[in-house]
């Protein structure tokens, strides 16, 4: 039979739409989308995309039901791909805890509960329940932030770059901002401190050198008619080591006070808990920076803090109140989803043990090697039935904090290393990444590593199911 003769019994688009499956498709998606998908499937048949199945379908009968079922199946597959969410759940097996490309901080289940309570109903976002009049959206977060940090006032915007820009625009617009050359960093996405300063309407005054900045450098750069503020920037993604010197918050606070200038400390990744007790090197906490004399401190909500993306500004009330009146504030403000998620996260910090246990970022960071060994053993045990198709080992590896926090700090960890027998390591990594629930792994020493520091127990079963499907599929 000629190829073209095999398509005589293909049903029309209308017949397909009126079928039982066609009506289900319209109910699940929309009539317009289903029509486009069916036409696309029909075009594929006519072009011979499925020529190897045409004869088989034709043999099912002249009624065309074989074609009909196949066309509708292809149409559904197209629609499911088209309407699948672009943003989806991903299993992070890389060991990078704050993985910028994978959404940074993983939120606590306390956030999910809070979102369920508020987001699907009206709320008092800008309504004062006591007076019955208009309220302020800032009141919902300010008190808890001030309690936790010791700040006089607080403000939340959409990210830390915005927080720095708003602080500079409010406190130093039109004047010079003094910054050490060793702190003129570039953060993710090619955003640079010098450019943020310029966008804020300020002029950059560089002092010192890349590796050394002294008190005298700041003193010599300050002029009453020009200088509007001092900015201290956390270097985030790198460390300068060796023959170095920098001026820290206490000394800068003295200089700022002497010259009646605001000291703005851009902490980058803000911390409310000192992690030195858990084996990490010293980093300023927000509370310590304020206590040391910083007038304004800015930091992220979605890094070590473990909350949603947000830029938090804390400090002296006179400065924060001025920022609230800045016209930029409305453009940079956060929505109710961020506010709910951030408040739920912050409330866990009233009890340090609770925060360590319930904020996923903190729990991952402080997990001991012994705990990780047990998790790795559980995963290896789940994967035992697949040993004919791959070699499975528990190995020592290193994790990273990520997100510009603790740069160059390697954290001892454990991983399950996999060497597939019937495909390359890169092919396996590719298939895992393209699975229904994508799994992102790291490749090291010629094997796929699943670093268990960034895995939760419920994800182990999902990994086993996905690997079974990937290794058994052709």
Any domain includes 107: no
Which of the listed residues 358, 376, 410 is the one where a domain comes to its end? 358
Instruction: Write down the pLDDT at residue 61.
Output: 44
Would you say residue 240 has pLDDT above 90? no
Would you say residue 6 has pLDDT above 80? no
Would you say residue 250 has pLDDT above 80? yes
Residues 375 and 328 in one domain: no
Instruction: Write down the pLDDT at residue 64.
Output: 53
CATH value at residue 234: 3.40.640.10
Any domain includes 103: no
Maximum Cα–Cα distance for the chain, whole Å? 95
Any domain includes 430: yes
Residues 235 and 189 in one domain: yes
Residues 299 and 155 in one domain: yes
Place of tokens 């959404």: 103
Any domain includes 347: yes
Q: Are 283 and 406 in contact (CB under 8 A)?
A: yes
Residues 73 and 158 in one domain: no
Q: Are 214 and 242 in contact (CB under 8 A)?
A: no
Residues 315 and 435 in one domain: no
Which of 206, 231, 361 minimizes the C-alpha distance to 298?
231
Which of the listed residues 52, 83, 114 is the one where a domain comes to its end? 83
Instruction: Write down the pLDDT at residue 7.
Output: 58
Residues 324 and 381 in one domain: no
Which of 387, 399, 401, 376 minimizes the C-alpha distance to 471?
387
Range of 145's domain? 129-358
Any domain includes 114: no
Residues 225 and 282 in one domain: yes
**pLDDT above 90: percentage of residues in the chain:** 76
CATH value at residue 433: 3.90.1150.180
Residues 329 and 378 in one domain: no
Instruction: Write down the pLDDT at residue 55.
Output: 47
Residues 350 and 399 in one domain: no
State the chain's mean pLDDT as an integer: 90
pLDDT in tens, 44-98: 887 766 544 544 444 444 445 677 888 899 999 999 989 988 899 999 999 999 9
Cβ neighbours for 29, distance < 8 A, ≥ 6 positions apart: 37, 79, 83
Cβ neighbours for 155, distance < 8 A, ≥ 6 positions apart: 138, 142, 166, 312, 313, 314, 320, 323, 324, 329
Would you say residue 1 has pLDDT above 60? no
> With helix as H, strand as E and coil as C, how does 101-117 read?
HHCECCCCHHHHHHHHH
Residues 216 and 311 in one domain: yes
Query: Based on the structure, what is the number of domains in the chain?
Result: 3
Residues 378 and 345 in one domain: no
Q: pTM for this structure? A: 0.88
């Amino acid at each position: 039979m000629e190829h073209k003769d095999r398509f005589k019994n293909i049903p029309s688009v209308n017949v397909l739409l009126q079928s039982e499956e066609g009506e289900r498709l319209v109910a699940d998606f929309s009539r317009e989308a289903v029509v486009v998908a069916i036409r696309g499937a029909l075009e594929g048949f006519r072009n011979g995309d499925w020529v190897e199945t045409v004869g088989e379908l034709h043999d099912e009968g002249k009624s065309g039901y074989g074609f009909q079922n196949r066309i509708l199946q292809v149409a559904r597959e197209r629609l499911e791909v088209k309407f699948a969410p672009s943003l989806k759940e991903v299993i992070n097996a890389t060991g990078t805890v704050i993985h910028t490309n994978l959404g940074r901080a993983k939120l606590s289940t306390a956030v999910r509960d809070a979102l369920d309570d508020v987001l699907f109903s009206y709320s008092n976002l800008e309504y004062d329940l006591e007076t019955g009049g208009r309220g302020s959206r800032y009141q919902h977060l300010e008190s808890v932030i001030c309690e936790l940090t010791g700040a006089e006032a607080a403000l939340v915007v959409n990210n830390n770059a915005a927080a720095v820009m708003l602080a500079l625009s409010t406190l130093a617009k039109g004047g010079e901002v003094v910054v050490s050359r060793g702190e003129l960093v570039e953060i993710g996405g090619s955003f640079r401190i010098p450019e943020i300063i310029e966008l804020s309407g300020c002029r950059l005054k560089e002092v010192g050198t890349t590796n050394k900045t002294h008190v005298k450098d700041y003193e010599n750069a300050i002029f009453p008619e020009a200088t509007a503020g001092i900015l201290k920037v956390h270097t985030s993604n790198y460390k300068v080591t060796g023959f170095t010197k920098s001026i820290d918050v206490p000394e800068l606070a003295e200089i700022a006070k002497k010259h009646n200038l605001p000291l703005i400390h851009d902490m980058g990744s803000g911390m409310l808990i000192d992690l030195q007790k858990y084996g990490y090197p010293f980093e300023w906490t927000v509370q310590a920076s304020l206590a040391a004399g910083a007038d304004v401190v800015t930091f992220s909500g979605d890094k070590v803090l473990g909350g949603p993306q947000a830029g938090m500004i804390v400090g002296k009330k006179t400065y924060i109140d001025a920022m609230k009146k800045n016209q930029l504030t409305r453009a940079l403000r956060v929505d109710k989803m961020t506010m709910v998620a951030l408040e739920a996260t912050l409330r866990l910090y009233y009890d340090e043990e609770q925060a360590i246990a319930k904020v996923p970022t903190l729990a991952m960071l402080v997990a001991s090697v012994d705990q990780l060994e047990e998790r790795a053993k559980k995963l290896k045990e789940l994967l035992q039935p697949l040993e004919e198709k791959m070699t499975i080992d528990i190995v020592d590896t290193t994790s990273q904090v990520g997100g510009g926090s603790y740069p160059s700090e390697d954290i001892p960890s454990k991983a399950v290393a996999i060497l597939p027998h019937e495909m390359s390591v890169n092919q396996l990594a590719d298939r895992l990444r393209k699975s229904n629930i994508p799994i992102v792994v790291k490749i090291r020493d010629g094997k796929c590593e699943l670093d268990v520091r960034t895995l939760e127990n419920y994800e182990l079963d999902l990994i086993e199911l996905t690997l079974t499907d990937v290794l058994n599929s052709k």
